[in-house]
Amino acid sequence: MKTTSKLEAVCRRANDHDVDTLFELIQGYAQKGIMLPRSKEVLKRQIDSFVVAEVEGIVVGCGSLTRLGADLVEIRSLGMTEGYKGLGVGSKLVDSLIAMAKEQKIPKIMALTYAVSFFEKNGFHIVQKEIFPEKVWTDCVNCPKQHACDEIAVLRMID
């Protein structure tokens, strides 16, 4: 799987060499309360679920896919390096994650996010959080906002 954006960015599956970069990128957003932190150990264990976007060989963005059931996956840890936003690369990462879900024959993809209009531009629509199975919320035990979650749930059907 390789997808190219208008910035000559290439999306590819992550590998063990990306762990440190992924850690720094995610940690930066975790400190701002936008993402949940991921330790290097967890990243290493879950590396197969990550895609990265590269510009001239430098990783400038990432995203991951978590299986939540037979028919549902969640986009997690989606983020771009400052200076590379608004250039279509985040959307390419979403395309790559959708392609990954399609390969696994999963029909539905969701995210919990503050970037609602970004996801709407990528074919998602807002849904009630309550429609999702309990498995969606397992990650929330690690979230400081777990009892006051203000993220919006978005969903897209994969055709």
> Which of 75/106 has CB closer to ligand COA?
75
Alpha carbon distance 122, 102 (integer Å): 16
- As measured in angstroms, the least distance from the Cβ of 45 to ligand COA is 21
- As measured in angstroms, the least distance from the Cβ of 109 to ligand COA is 12
- As measured in angstroms, the least distance from the Cβ of 118 to ligand COA is 4
> 105 in helix, strand or coil?
coil
> Can you give the binding site for ligand COA, defined by CB under 6 A?
29, 34, 78-80, 85-91, 111, 113-115, 117-118, 121
Answer for the pair 2, 11: CB distance below 8 angstroms, yes or no: yes
Q: How far is CA 145 from the centre of its chain?
A: 19
> Which of 6/102 has CB closer to ligand COA?
6
Q: Six-digit token pair at 155?
A: 């969903």
Based on DSSP, count helices (H) and strands (E) in the chain, helices before strands: 4, 8
Alpha carbon distance 69, 17 (integer Å): 29
> Which of 118/132 has CB closer to ligand COA?
118
> Which of 16/96 has CB closer to ligand COA?
96
Q: How many CB atoms sit inside 10 A of residue 112's CB?
A: 21
